Amino acid sequence: MSREWLRVWARKVAGHRLSRSLRAFVRSTSLYDLPIAVCEPGRSKIVVLAPHMDDEVLGCGGTIVRHVLAQADVTVVFLTDGRRGAGDAAKREHSADPYDIVRIRKLEAQRAAHIMGVRSLRFLDAEDSRLRYDTGVANRLREVLLSEQPEIVYLPFFLERHPDHRAANDVLFAATRNTRLRFECRGYEVWTPLFPNCLVRIDETMFTAARA
């Protein structure tokens, strides 16, 4: 997905809710007729934005491994602290310390990164499920992007239903505003089907990602 495509989305649809404006936008475009190109990962600078720990694995884990095998420089940036993603068992434990959950989820993310071959992780620690309200996370992301100077940025597709996944797009817009950053922007699917125009073949890497 190109950055200009996302800018068109931002201009066409105001706000974050799946509303009549969104439905009108979908009807007014050729989303269903987009040509799909096969994209071959190469040796480049990659940043993957994950609203929560595990989004990077579920959404584009096989692609990340493809980039790693191509000797790309991959950095995964976790936007939130993941405190509300511990599962039903933990939620039933009323005494569960959210900071302990954050610690565990970060350890899990580090182990997953090791399996995929990713060496660089950044944790920006916005509160889970409140990403859109964090006024400082865009500045923290800007620092990462200016340091890494990526050629490709992966993030959740802008039609994802989870509010943190959609907010990731706004955070990226804010982080790049008034900068000279230039990169290809690619949306990945986590829970909501996307409209693809770029295909990365992961036949040989999806099982590595599944282990993560």
pLDDT digits (tens, 9 = 90+) for 12-36: 444 444 455 555 655 665 656 778 9
Q: Mean of the per-residue pLDDT values for the chain? A: 87
pTM for the model stands at 0.83
Identify the burial level of 4 via C-beta atoms within 10 angstroms of its C-beta, where 0-12 means exposed, 13-18 middle and 19 or more buried.
exposed
pLDDT digits (tens, 9 = 90+) for 121-158: 999 999 999 999 999 999 999 999 999 999 999 999 99
pLDDT digits (tens, 9 = 90+) for 142-201: 999 999 999 999 999 999 999 999 999 999 999 999 999 999 999 999 999 998 899 999
Which CATH number among 3.30.9.90, 3.90.650.10, 3.10.20.30, 3.40.50.10320 corresponds to the domain 3-11+34-211? 3.40.50.10320
3-state secondary structure of 98: helix
